[in-house]
Amino acid sequence: MERSVFIELQRRDNPPSRAQSFLMRGGGVYSREEFIQIMRDHLDATEDNIQDWANDRRGDHTVQVVLSVESHMRCLWVSFRDLSQYRNAPKETARLMAAHWQDTLIQAIDDGKP
């Protein structure tokens, strides 16, 4: 099943540095169908935009990262050729990373070190 990583950012008022220009408001990992609903409900995307996005499939081993800032959205695709090293990771490590990725990324963006 294809998934999208959605990260919602906002501009920071009077940022202490350029690297700290944004704050992360939230994020999640969603199926394509779930993300299409987010586009309709929260991102004011047109049906043409949604259809273009839905038709853009990059294949296996590709992660789609969607960044949203105010009314703008940017899609980035990251492909992995060999995932075998990740399959060998301890299951508990994978569960911990899945449970805490948002908090870790929020802190990194807040610190200006993403």
Q: What pLDDT is stored for residue 1 in this prediction?
A: 60
Dist. CA 15–CA 110, nearest whole Å: 10
**What are the residue ranges spanned by the domains of the chain?**
3-111
In terms of phi and psi (left: phi > 0; alpha: psi -120 to 50; beta: otherwise), the region of 95 is: alpha
* pLDDT tens track for 53-99: 888 888 777 888 999 998 788 989 888 777 777 778 888 988 898 89
**What one-character DSSP code corresponds to residue 18?**
G
**What one-character DSSP code corresponds to residue 76?**
E
Under the banding of pLDDT at 50, 70 and 90, the label for residue 41 is confident
Q: What pLDDT is stored for residue 67 in this prediction?
A: 92
